[in-house]
Chain A
Amino acid sequence: MSTAPGAGASDGAAGRAPGGGPSGDATDTPLLTARGIAKRYAQREALRGVDLDAHAGELIAVIGPNGAGKTTLLSILAGAQEPSAGTIELAGDAPAHGSSVGWVPQQPAVYSRLTVAENLELFARLERVSDPRAAVREMLEQTGLRERAQERVGRLSGGNRQRVNIALGLLADPAVLVLDEPSSSLDPRQRERLWRFVLESSGRGRSVVFSTHNVAEAERYAGRVIVLADGELLFSGTPAELARSSGSDGGLGFEGAFVEFLRIRGH
């Protein structure tokens, strides 16, 4: 496998610390540091001065109303878009993006006329993984897609397609995994499997940043919640801190507290 930011080379075996980064709990040294991220589309400001630190083993949920800038922020963190202003730094001397940040976009970014294995092998080669075939085998095992390896992606169910999408994001064993609304097209059983997989991935020391409209998922799985509205970072803290900052005594539930928080902040 490739050498990823943070430390030494990984061994390519299942259960390894991703990217060779710190395994286990979050540490004080962030794997990814974003400062003053701004994005402007013509006259519209999609993001305004957003700061974010992502530590090893940390699971960060980005939530906010529609048009808040969640997808823009995540695609900038993943390197799919250039920010208009601001900087992104990764721990170590790894390249800013590519193999060091795994990207799982909202819509599965896969070639529907290629098979699952062909998709994985193509991106493994593009990610310059040292042994692409071994990486493909490992990903097929990890995502439970071994039986579907020779099927064309276009013939897979939405859930399995999303699994391929996630597998592509993890191919290069990145230190940071960025997922944009990963559970939006999945049924409850598939969602459960997805989060189990993400938690396992985070538990191995990988920093995971995900966006969601389902605030219950943020409360349940995220260690830290970031609230965006109109391109502005309104909050960064634990779900419990967000609930407290809305002034609710717990009677509203997390979703109610989140809505109340937005109302208080004028959104």
Chain B
Amino acid sequence: MKSMLKKDLVILARSRLLVGVLVVYPIAVALLIGLAISRAPSKPKVAVVNLSPPGASVELGARPARRVQVGHYYGALLKQIQAVPVATRAQAIAKVRSGRVLAAIVIPANIAARLSSVTSQGEIEVIYNGEALEQSFVHSTIEAALAQANLELSNRIRSLAASVIADLLKGGNLGVPGTPQNLPGLRRIPGILQGVLRRQPPGPQREALAQVAEFAQFAAQNLGLSGRVLNTVSRPIAVHTKLLHGRRTPLDAYAVVVAVSISLMFVCVLLAAGGVALEREEHTLSRLVRGLVSRELLLVEKLLLAAGCSLVLAFAMLAGIGAFVGLEWGRVAQWLLALAGGAVAFGALGVAIGALAREVRAASLLAFLLSLPLAFLALVPAGAVAGGLYDAIRVISFVFPFKAALQALDAAVNRSSPGLGSSLVHLLTLTLAFAALARVGLRRAE
């Protein structure tokens, strides 16, 4: 075993191109996947024509009127898109036609007036590029952007409306020169009226005043509820999020786990498969198995070599990324356990591939062709595909080690569920199954 390990390390050290590819390629793939998962979709490039006059505002109430600047809406919209400001509608259409922007939004000059009228909605115009694929993406993105901008404007208007109502209820000084001082406010009016009533002799005037006092009481009570009503109208449904499985995994930490698992798999499977196939390609297998090294020991040696090399690489990668992403270093023992479990299972898969292939190139190609889709299948979220297809994906992901290794590492790094123990048991089972397959493959190929 020691001599064989030493020999394989010497051969590996002399295959600098192979080592370079094995290290650089998975890291590059892993980083790309990590970035793709952790980065939010980029904002669409949209031309924006703001025809409303500078400083245009929506007015609410009177003496004094409260104002919401149209610029707030414009600003909220700009946060959601990559805006390309243009002066005219024609220029915006030209940009959409040329494909330099995916869509255009035209804010008309009268938007403030229409909103201030209270009787009509404000309107904006959206012009899309007709390309089908982009349109569907842009449409949904701009709809979301407009909804967000609408919500922000609605919140501001609601807030101002609530403030007007509060002033009506509490009275006092409105702080605007020329307006009456020490206004009583609707809440105080019933009490004032009751005081007047007590001093009023019985008669028709007292009865009329009593009715006014009763109405003032009713109005003050109901107006007091209006703030909550406005809140309910602006956000009729509040969303409360509840996670069913364990602790929440931050997306960037999960991306790290995905990236490291992919690197672990590629390096380990390719090394193990190549190592076994090399013995056949060099015709040394027949020399070795004639009593010098048993087939089982040969497979274990290749498995351990691949697992050891990939474990070192994956741990270095995890530790390196851990310097930038907040990982719990106190769980380093669990990280190593998860990486070791995954590496051994990937090693077993690799030796099985190597035992079935006759040469290194075929083994490498087979390992690559098998590993890449396995990684992507394991990342397909529930609900992203039809139920039957997802069941098939789950079965495939269950009988190959990537998903279990990913879950083990996720549990070790992010404390997610299923727990580390059950994932390790799964990996151990797969290791035994693939090792048995490798043993059969090695005998059949002789």
Chain A positions near chain B (C-beta within 8 angstroms): 75, 78-81, 95-99, 101, 103, 105, 107-114, 118, 122-123, 125-127, 152, 168
Known contacts A111-B7, A113-B14: A75-B284 contact under CB 8 Å: no
B264-303 near A? 1/0 per residue, CB < 8 Å: 0000000000000000001110111111110000000000
Q: In the complex, A31→B283 CA distance in Å?
A: 27
Q: Does B10 contact A (CB under 8 A)?
A: yes
The reply to whether B290 and A110 contact each other, CB–CB distance below 8 Å, is no
Task: Give chain B nearest CB distance to A212 CB in angstroms.
Answer: 19
Known contacts A111-B7, A114-B7: A103-B287 contact under CB 8 Å: yes
Across the A-B interface, give the 6 residue pairs with the lowest CB-CB distance, nearest first.
A98-B291, A79-B290, A80-B286, A109-B283, A126-B292, A109-B287
Task: Give chain B nearest CB distance to A133 CB in angstroms.
Answer: 13
Q: Does B15 contact A (CB under 8 A)?
A: yes
The reply to whether B3 and A97 contact each other, CB–CB distance below 8 Å, is no
B10, B283, B286: which has the most chain A beta carbons within 10 Å? B286
Q: Which of B341-382 contact A (CB under 8 A)?
A: none
Q: Does B131 contact A (CB under 8 A)?
A: no
Which A residues are CB-close (under 8 A) to B14?
Answer: 113, 152
Q: In the complex, A118→B292 CA distance in Å?
A: 17
Which B residues are CB-close (under 8 A) to A168?
Answer: 287
The reply to whether A110 and B284 contact each other, CB–CB distance below 8 Å, is yes
Which of chain B's residues has its CB closest to A168's CB? B287
Which A residues are CB-close (under 8 A) to B288?
Answer: 126
Which A residues are CB-close (under 8 A) to B282?
Answer: 109-112
Task: Give chain A nearest CB distance to B313 CB in angstroms.
Answer: 21
Task: Give chain A nearest CB distance to B19 CB in angstroms.
Answer: 12
Which A residues are CB-close (under 8 A) to B4?
Answer: 126
Task: Give chain A nearest CB distance to B49 CB in angstroms.
Answer: 67
Which of chain A's residues has its CB closest to B7's CB? A122
Which B residues are CB-close (under 8 A) to A81?
Answer: 286, 446
Which A residues are CB-close (under 8 A) to B286?
Answer: 75, 80-81, 103, 105, 109
Q: Does B385 contact A (CB under 8 A)?
A: no
Which B residues are CB-close (under 8 A) to A95?
Answer: 291
Q: In the complex, A101→B10 CA distance in Å?
A: 28
Q: Which of B1-59 contact A (CB under 8 A)?
A: 3-4, 7, 10-11, 14-15
The reply to whether B290 and A78 contact each other, CB–CB distance below 8 Å, is yes
Task: Give chain A nearest CB distance to B433 CB in angstroms.
Answer: 25
Which A residues are CB-close (under 8 A) to B283?
Answer: 105, 107-110
- Give the size category of B's interface with A: 10 to 19
Sample 13 A-B pairs with CB under 8 A, ordered by A number.
A80-B287, A95-B291, A103-B290, A105-B283, A109-B287, A110-B284, A114-B7, A114-B10, A118-B10, A122-B7, A126-B4, A126-B292, A126-B293
Given contacts A80-B286, A109-B283, A118-B7, 17 further A-B contacts (CB under 8 A): A75-B286, A95-B291, A96-B291, A97-B290, A98-B291, A98-B292, A99-B291, A103-B290, A109-B284, A110-B283, A111-B7, A112-B282, A113-B11, A113-B14, A126-B4, A126-B293, A127-B292
Which A residues are CB-close (under 8 A) to B292?
Answer: 98, 123, 126-127
Q: In the complex, A118→B283 CA distance in Å?
A: 17
Task: Give chain B nearest CB distance to A177 CB in angstroms.
Answer: 13
The reply to whether B3 and A122 contact each other, CB–CB distance below 8 Å, is yes
Which of chain A's residues has its CB closest to B290's CB? A79
Which B residues are CB-close (under 8 A) to A125?
Answer: 3
Q: In the complex, A127→B446 CA distance in Å?
A: 21
Which A residues are CB-close (under 8 A) to B446?
Answer: 80-81
Task: Give chain A nearest CB distance to B347 CB in angstroms.
Answer: 21
Which B residues are CB-close (under 8 A) to A103?
Answer: 286-287, 290
Task: Give chain A nearest CB distance to B290 CB in angstroms.
Answer: 4
The reply to whether A80 and B290 contact each other, CB–CB distance below 8 Å, is yes
Which B residues are CB-close (under 8 A) to A122?
Answer: 3, 7
Q: In the complex, A104→B62 CA distance in Å?
A: 106
B283, B288, B290, B293: which has the most chain A beta carbons within 10 Å? B290
Which B residues are CB-close (under 8 A) to A107?
Answer: 283
The reply to whether A111 and B284 contact each other, CB–CB distance below 8 Å, is yes
Q: In the complex, A103→B284 CA distance in Å?
A: 11
Q: In the complex, A39→B269 CA distance in Å?
A: 34
Which of chain B's residues has its CB closest to A79's CB? B290
Task: Give chain B nearest CB distance to A155 CB in angstroms.
Answer: 12
B10, B11, B15, B287: which has the most chain A beta carbons within 10 Å? B287
The reply to whether A97 and B10 contact each other, CB–CB distance below 8 Å, is no
Q: In the complex, A80→B4 CA distance in Å?
A: 18
Q: Tell which of B3, B15, B291 touches A79, judged by Cβ atoms closer than 8 Å.
A: B291
Q: In the complex, A81→B443 CA distance in Å?
A: 10
Which B residues are CB-close (under 8 A) to A78?
Answer: 290
Q: In the complex, A148→B283 CA distance in Å?
A: 21
Which A residues are CB-close (under 8 A) to B291?
Answer: 79, 95-99
